[in-house]
Amino acid sequence: MLGANDGIVSTASLLVGVAAADASHGALLTAGIAGAVAGAMSMAAGEYVSVSSQADSEQADLARERNELATDDAGERRELMGIYVGRGLSQELAQRVTDELMAHDALGAHARDELGITDLSVARPLLAAGASASSFACGALLPLAVAAVTSVPAALWAVPATALVFLALLGAIAARAGGAAISLAAARVTFWGALAMAATAGIGELFGTIVQ
């Protein structure tokens, strides 16, 4: 949802700014498509770098944990027991759970309960990059489609109007999924989207007048 929102706001704002500068329809679509591609690639690159850093950190933590298990088994057992006792288990039960889990998969037990690393939460840079780029591109396609079927003067009102509707719908869906207040979430995302488009429209109008 966040990536799609970014795609809508970024692309719609760019389109409105270019349209306000009195560009041709071809130039409007070229700018919109270029902005959508650049935005999607930027999202992918940023997410890949961020998640790769997380993956590197996880691997370093696992390597350190593997070394500690090899050099200080007793200390690692006490550490794991302390975690289970802190979660409410008795000393005896914590001891038994620790012994059984470490006999089965010592590194896995420490990764999960000490480091918080599980198969579901492990960092996957390529997957994260692809998801970010795809969600941004899907959001960007909405204002692009509107611009493609309208004239430049009509795009000045059609693109922001439909973009705000799209943003409100996505905000409501995200709020519903997360159990938050729908009206507040929709109002918040449409306000900031409207502000971004108004700013770029003003800049486009200003520079369009200067160039002319």
130 and 37 together in one domain: yes
* 39 and 139 inside one domain: yes
What is the rounded CA–CA span in Å between residue 102 and residue 105? 5
- In sequence order, what E strands does 29-87 have? none
Confidence (pLDDT) at 74: 84
Alpha-carbon distance of 93 to 91, in angstroms, equals 6
- How many residues are given for the chain? 212
pLDDT value of residue 37: 92
Contact 15, 8 (CB under 8 A): no
What is the pTM (predicted TM-score) of this model?
Answer: 0.70
One domain, residues 84 and 182: no
Contact of 147 with 28, CB cutoff 8 Å: yes
- Tell me if 119 is assigned to some domain: no
Whether residue 150 sits in one domain with residue 73:
no
Give me the helix-helix angle, 152-178 and 2-20, nearest 10°.
Answer: 160
Judge whether 96 lies within some domain: yes
**Token pair for 66:** 């593997």
Within a domain: 120: no
Predicted pLDDT of residue 145: 93
The reported pLDDT for the residue numbered 141 is 92
d(CA 39, CA 132): 10
Domain span at residue 109 reads 54-113
Mean pLDDT, residues 24-40: 90
Task: Report the pLDDT value the prediction gives residue 210, as an integer from 0 to 100.
Answer: 40
Taking CA atoms, 170 is separated from 80, 175, 182, in Å, by 43, 8, 10
The neighbour count for residue 158, using CB atoms within 10 Å, is: 18
